[in-house]
Amino acid sequence: MTLWGALKCMSVDKGQAMDNRRTYTRQPLEATVELTHPGIGLMTVQALNISDGGIAVSMGRHVVPPVGTVLQVRIKRHSGALNDNPVAMRVVHIQPNGIVGLMFC
């Protein structure tokens, strides 16, 4: 991750609204994403897109963690995991339809 990405992750406050200006180009992604949090447990959700800054996932029927929550994340494709070790990602926005934006920390 870039220094800019690390600084952005640290500067997001709980409840801060995200605007639609994008720093990174998003690419569609067909993958399963494992989200882990000590208070929530393991959730398996679907990726929608990914960029150098983060990933958007569809939470389905899972509990949506609040903005600011840091999760451990593994991304899996049919060919295997994109990351063997989970990476820390912060919830930065939540859409009413259950789509959650996660930013690399």
Task: Extract the tokens encoding 1.
Answer: 């991750």
Torsion of CA 89, 83, 55, 61, to 10 degrees: -80
pLDDT digits (tens, 9 = 90+) for 41-76: 999 999 999 999 999 999 999 999 999 999 999 999
> How much is the pLDDT for 5?
42
Choice between 82 and 55, residue whose per-residue pLDDT is larger:
55
Q: Are 102 and 56 in contact (CB under 8 A)?
A: yes
- Residues 50-77: b if buried by 16+ CB within 10 A, e if exposed: bbebbbbbebeebebbebebebebbbee
> How much is the pLDDT for 10?
45
Q: Which residues does residue 91 pair with via DSSP β-bridges, in sequence order?
A: 102
Domains of the chain, CATH where assigned = 28-104 (2.40.10.220)
pLDDT digits (tens, 9 = 90+) for 2-49: 433 443 444 444 344 445 666 888 999 999 999 999 999 999 999 999
